[in-house]
Amino acid sequence: MGLFTATISAVRKGLARTREALAGGLHSLLQDQVLSDALIDDIEDYLIKADVGVKATVAIIEQLRESFAAGDIARGEDAIDFLKTSLKARFTTMNRALAVAPQSPTVILVAGINGSGKTTSVAKIAKSLRDEGRSVLLAAADTFRAGAVAQLEIWAQRLGVDLIKGEQGADPAAVAFDATKAAIARRSDVLLIDTAGRLHTQRNLMDQLTKIRDVVTRQIPDAPHEVLLVLDATSGQTAIAQAEEFKKAIDVTGIFLAKLDGTAKGGIVIAIQDTLDIPVKLIGVGETPEDVEPFDPDAFIDAMFTS
Ligand SMILES: Nc1nc2c(ncn2[C@@H]2O[C@H](COP(=O)(O)OP(=O)(O)OP(=O)(O)O)[C@@H](O)[C@H]2O)c(=O)[nH]1
Ligand SMILES: [Mg+2]
């Protein structure tokens, strides 16, 4: 059984801003209109503004122009259906389920730049897994930022899950080591490791991340089973550049795209699909632990366009 089998659909609420800007804008532009080259130019602008990315936009607009020229599409409204179908078609089949270890614990390492939403995302994953009846252990391996351990500790208390921590300034790899040992001893189903925010330019901090991974692997050879990179959807195309850099340091297995509710540029999911060969696995659509959804491309595109 995969993780995250039972979550409440929050994606529509989370995409409200994107839907308003993209679908709302396109709808007023195209409703009761006969399609034209000028309107197709405007559609192109909307896709770029929604952060769909140049690659997808150029390809889709080219197809749209061809279909328009061939007389296959004539009405403005039909162009929206065309966009939905073309956007959905860009998502190749990728395994978007969280990895599950053949033998517990499943270890999930969470990384990303400062403030991207890591700790909140850890709380969200912990809650969903706990609600599915799994035992969850948290590791507060952000010993760098003052208050970081306390922040995760509060989530642990609220959610009723156990936490392994070190003192502020302690070696985060030592915390990860202790937590892995504890997860094995306690027969936890899942160990979630929260880490400090870091930039790829901070060499020592990037090395620290690989050190955290290595101490886990030393105890459980096939772990971490998942390295989730938390990206902030509001940071737009720079999120993609960050992912490229993290990939160089550590084998990122999935993306948790946080803060989709805070942006009208939800099209970033398509740009990620087009440029990175890392699947978006989960999306964050708010600040509470309930605000998480497994990423489903078709449902996502529908939510982007359906009012
Ligand atoms: N609207 C919204 N806010 C979010 C989401 N995820 C996280 N946040 C907010 O983003 C801010 C930063 O979140 P954290 O979880 O502390 O981020 P972090 O990556 O752990 O930060 P550092 O540990 O300082 O690097 C907080 O105010 C969160 O409530 C989301 O999906 N939607
Ligand atoms: Mg944090």
Residue with tokens 């020229």: 69
By alpha-carbon position, which residue is closest to atom 1 of ligand 1?
A: 286
Supply the pLDDT for residue 8.
Answer: 42
Q: Is 6 inside any structural domain? A: no
The ligand with the least distance to the CA atom of 17 is 1
Residues 52 and 153 in one domain: no
Containing structural domain, residue 36: 11-89
Local structure of 274: helix, strand or coil: helix
- Report the atom number in ligand 1 closest to the C-alpha of 120: 15
DSSP code, position 71: T
The ligand with the least distance to the CA atom of 120 is 1
Q: Pick the closest to residue 226 from 131, 111, 56, 103 (CA basis).
A: 111
Q: Pick the closest to residue 45 from 17, 26, 64 (CA basis).
A: 26
- Report the atom number in ligand 1 closest to the C-alpha of 286: 32
State which of 57, 89, 121 marks the end of a domain: 89
Of 232, 260, 287, the one to substitute when testing ligand 1's pocket (max ligand atoms within 8 A of C-beta) is 287
Residues with CB under 5 Å of ion ligand 2 are 118-119
Of 119, 280, 290, the one to substitute when testing ligand 1's pocket (max ligand atoms within 8 A of C-beta) is 119
22-28 long-range Cβ contacts below 8 angstroms, 24+ apart: 22/46, 22/47, 22/49, 22/50, 22/264, 22/266, 22/267, 22/304, 22/305, 23/80, 23/304, 23/305, 23/306, 23/307, 24/307, 26/79, 26/80, 26/83, 26/305, 27/80, 27/307
Residues 110 and 214 in one domain: yes
Q: Pick the closest to residue 150 from 166, 173, 170, 135 (CA basis).
A: 166
Residues 232 and 150 in one domain: yes
- 51: phi > 0 → left, psi -120 to 50 → alpha, else beta; which? left
Supply the pLDDT for residue 80.
Answer: 94
Residues 139 and 260 in one domain: yes
At 52, which CATH number?
1.20.120.140
Supply the pLDDT for residue 146.
Answer: 84
Q: Which residues line ligand 1 (CB under 6 A)?
A: 112, 114-120, 142, 145, 148, 197, 258-259, 261-262, 284-287, 291
Q: Is 2 inside any structural domain? A: no
Q: Is 159 inside any structural domain? A: yes
By alpha-carbon position, which residue is closest to atom 6 of ligand 1?
A: 117
Residues 56 and 85 in one domain: yes
Q: Is 100 inside any structural domain? A: no
Local structure of 178: helix, strand or coil: helix
Contact assessment for residue 212 and residue 173, using Cβ atoms and an 8 Å cutoff: yes
pTM greater than the 0.85 cutoff: yes
Structure tokens at 151: 């922040």
Residues 37 and 130 in one domain: no
Residues 84 and 151 in one domain: no
Number of domains in the chain: 2
Supply the pLDDT for residue 285.
Answer: 94
Residues 156 and 284 in one domain: yes
Q: Is 283 inside any structural domain? A: yes
CA distance 195 to 139: 8
Q: Pick the closest to residue 245 from 203, 211, 280, 196 (CA basis).
A: 203
d(CA 114, ligand 2 centre) in Å = 7
d(CA 170, ligand 2 centre) in Å = 16
Q: Is 99 inside any structural domain? A: no
- Report the atom number in ligand 1 closest to the C-alpha of 262: 1
Residues 142 and 279 in one domain: yes
Residues 80 and 136 in one domain: no
d(CA 299, ligand 1 centre) in Å = 24
Dihedral (CA of 131, 186, 155, 256) sign = negative
Structure tokens at 266: 């939800």
pLDDT in tens, the chain (307 residues): 355 543 446 788 889 999 999 999 999 999 999 999 999 999 999 999 999 999 999 999 999 999 999 999 999 999 999 999 999 999 988 899 999 999 999 999 999 999 999 999 999 999 999 999 999 999 999 998 889 999 999 999 999 999 999 888 899 999 999 999 999 999 999 999 999 999 988 999 999 999 999 999 999 999 999 999 999 999 988 999 999 999 999 999 999 999 999 999 999 999 999 999 899 999 999 999 999 999 999 999 998 987 6
* CA distances in angstroms from 94 to 251, 280, 281, listed in the order given: 16, 9, 10
State which of 89, 122, 157 marks the end of a domain: 89
Q: Is 94 inside any structural domain? A: no
State which of 89, 120, 154 marks the end of a domain: 89
Residues 72 and 125 in one domain: no
Residues 181 and 290 in one domain: yes
d(CA 158, ligand 1 centre) in Å = 17
